[in-house]
Amino acid sequence: MMTPAAETLGVRHSADDPTGRQEMAACAGLTGRHIYLPTEIVHIIFTYIQELPDAPKILSSCCLVSRQWCSIATPLLYREPRIGHRNFAAFAAAFVSPKRPRSQKSDLGQYVRRLDLSELVHHSTVAVTAKLLQNVRPGLEDFIAPAYSLSSINLISISKCLSLQILDLSVVVVEFTLDEVKTATKNLANLKRLRLPRATSLTLSANEIPWPPNLTSLQFGGANPAEIDHFAEQFSWPESLTSLTLHGCKRLTHESIPAILGSPILQQNLRRLRVTTESNVMHFRFMADLVHFIPKVKFLSLPGSDINSTVIPEMETLNEKLDLEVIELGPSAVAWTFPINAFKRALKSSLVKLRYLRVQETHHASLMYDNCEEEVDNALMENARRAGYDQTKLETGEILTGCYVFS
């Protein structure tokens, strides 16, 4: 009898044969009834299948064609499993099963590269999460943690996932200190991106613990660093950091800018900066102070509200040429009119490299008057050409330019 979640994942294993070995053997018997295809051809077929919306279901069917097809499809099926509250129990059963002889233990964990448990609420436990991590750790590259079934025990398991490149703890509601997270990740040499739990604040006490040696992207929330005395001078940032996201920081004010971005390391290395707030309300001086601390940032994403009305005017009067190539404006509850004339002047003063403007759909109305959106498109294309971007790549869209409205 087939387990429910195994079928949901597209893995047709029976309860008596959780690893699928017997099924593979059965599949082998089908080989003689089918035209043999070279393994290379089967791989090419599967590269197309992986792009389809119902890829798991199709790959599941492929497992029944022959042992050859089954052996190729199974790793693809488990590489990035789609896990939700409906199929999690049976998915976990394939890895976290009752004690049985080592020869019968599932070896499916070796195929998992991305484990996304973000949709789970109370569907798992700390123990089950720990066992899952233990089974998939040899090849796990991307782990998105669940909200509740995570504790310090799991941080120990995470510390052993040496292939990990992305660690996302952003939905975790359990409170971890920065010290705990850094201790768990300090030896993960492959880790590039780290998203801290929203309740985890940056602290000076964690300075003695090294960051992952090759960390390039960091997201944090928690308390406002400006409330910590001497934070700007004393906090130790990852030396290889190029991307920073301030996600829902509490009481974020214009005073936070020098506290966070005043570090020489960030001013020298930072290329991407994203700021989000739960209320989309930002101090009106935020933008005025921000632009003086991001000389080399190429991508800037800002929240909505009144900050949008200050972005372009501030850029227009700035006496410094910025490296900004892309600006993204988040949703706004405040109606405003896009300052097209100030924008054009800013392109010739501080925004000499700007080529792409992304605005949330709530701003679309502000771009609809008098062909404003078309004017912005044309101005950005002209600016990109003036900045020396590859003409062919601009025309083919390989280098994005213009104004884009996103939802």
Residue 23, pLDDT score: 44
**Residue 387: both structure tokens together:** 């900045």
The values of phi and psi at residue 208, to 5°, are: -70, -20
3-state secondary structure of 105: coil
State how far the Cα of 232 lies from the Cα of 257, in Å rounded to an integer: 10
Residue 301: inside a domain: no
Provide the b/e sequence for 138-154 (b: ≥16 CB within 10 Å): ebbbbbbbbbbbbbeeb
State how far the Cα of 231 lies from the Cα of 262, in Å rounded to an integer: 9
Q: Which residue has the higher pLDDT, 102 or 397?
A: 397
Cβ-contact 401, 356 below 8 angstroms: yes
Residue 121: inside a domain: no
pLDDT band at 175 (very low <50, low <70, confident <90, very high): confident
Residue 156: inside a domain: no
The values of phi and psi at residue 205, to 5°, are: -65, -20
Residue 57: inside a domain: yes
State how far the Cα of 115 lies from the Cα of 132, in Å rounded to an integer: 9
Q: How many CB atoms lie within 10 A of CB 170?
A: 21
Q: Which range scores top for mean pLDDT: 30-39, 207-216, 286-295?
A: 207-216
Q: Above pLDDT 90, what percent of the chain?
A: 52
The values of phi and psi at residue 233, to 5°, are: -80, -30
Mean pLDDT of the chain: 85
Residue 130, pLDDT score: 93
The label of the residue with tokens 């789970």 reads 120
Residue 255, pLDDT score: 81
Residue 32: inside a domain: yes
Residue 49: inside a domain: yes
Residue 352: inside a domain: no
State how far the Cα of 121 lies from the Cα of 146, in Å rounded to an integer: 7
pLDDT band at 19 (very low <50, low <70, confident <90, very high): very low
Residue 138: inside a domain: no
Closest CA relative to residue 173, chosen from 244, 122, 224, 227: 122
Residue 156, pLDDT score: 95
Residue 248, pLDDT score: 81
Domain of residue 35, residue span: 4-78
State how far the Cα of 107 lies from the Cα of 19, in Å rounded to an integer: 7
State how far the Cα of 8 lies from the Cα of 22, in Å rounded to an integer: 20
What is the number of structural domains in the chain?
A: 1
Q: Above pLDDT 70, what percent of the chain?
A: 85
Q: Which residue has the higher pLDDT, 183 or 223?
A: 183
**Residue 341: both structure tokens together:** 């004339």
Q: How many CB atoms lie within 10 A of CB 47?
A: 9
Closest CA relative to residue 287, chosen from 312, 270, 265, 264: 312
Residue 184, pLDDT score: 98
